[in-house]
């Protein structure tokens, strides 16, 4: 997969998970995003859903926007 596939809706963002972090598009410098993608790769996930209504995951850093 050469580019990140993503979909936005009223609930959040759905991203396809690349096979490697090197396959992420250039310009993605967010370490938190890369951490989530790495965890998804390790778990064998095809997609990650960032959902505004889901409770935070305990082992990921939380940012108060």
Cα–Cα distance for residue pair 19/46, rounded to 1 Å: 9
Residue 29 counted as domain residue: yes
Please determine, for residue 6, whether its predicted confidence score (pLDDT) is greater than 80.
Answer: no
Average pLDDT, the chain: 85
Give 3's pLDDT tier (boundaries 50, 70, 90).
low
Cα–Cα distance for residue pair 41/28, rounded to 1 Å: 17
Instruction: Give the residue numbers spanning the domain of 22.
Output: 6-48
Q: 46: which 2 tokens?
A: 């095809």
Note the pLDDT of residue 63.
Answer: 78
Residue 43 counted as domain residue: yes
Q: State residue 31 phi and psi, 5-degree precision.
A: -65, -35
Note the pLDDT of residue 4.
Answer: 59
How many folded domains does the chain comprise?
1
Residue 44 counted as domain residue: yes
0.85 exceeded by pTM: no
Residue 32 counted as domain residue: yes
Note the pLDDT of residue 40.
Answer: 96
Residue 61 counted as domain residue: no
Residue 1 counted as domain residue: no
């Amino acid at each position: 997969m050469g580019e990140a596939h993503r979909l936005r809706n009223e609930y959040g963002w759905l991203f396809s998970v690349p096979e490697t972090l090197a396959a992420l598009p250039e310009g993605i410098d967010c370490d938190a995003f890369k951490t989530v993608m790495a965890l998804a790769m390790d778990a064998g996930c095809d997609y990650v859903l960032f959902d505004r209504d889901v409770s935070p995951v305990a082992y990921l850093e939380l940012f108060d926007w």
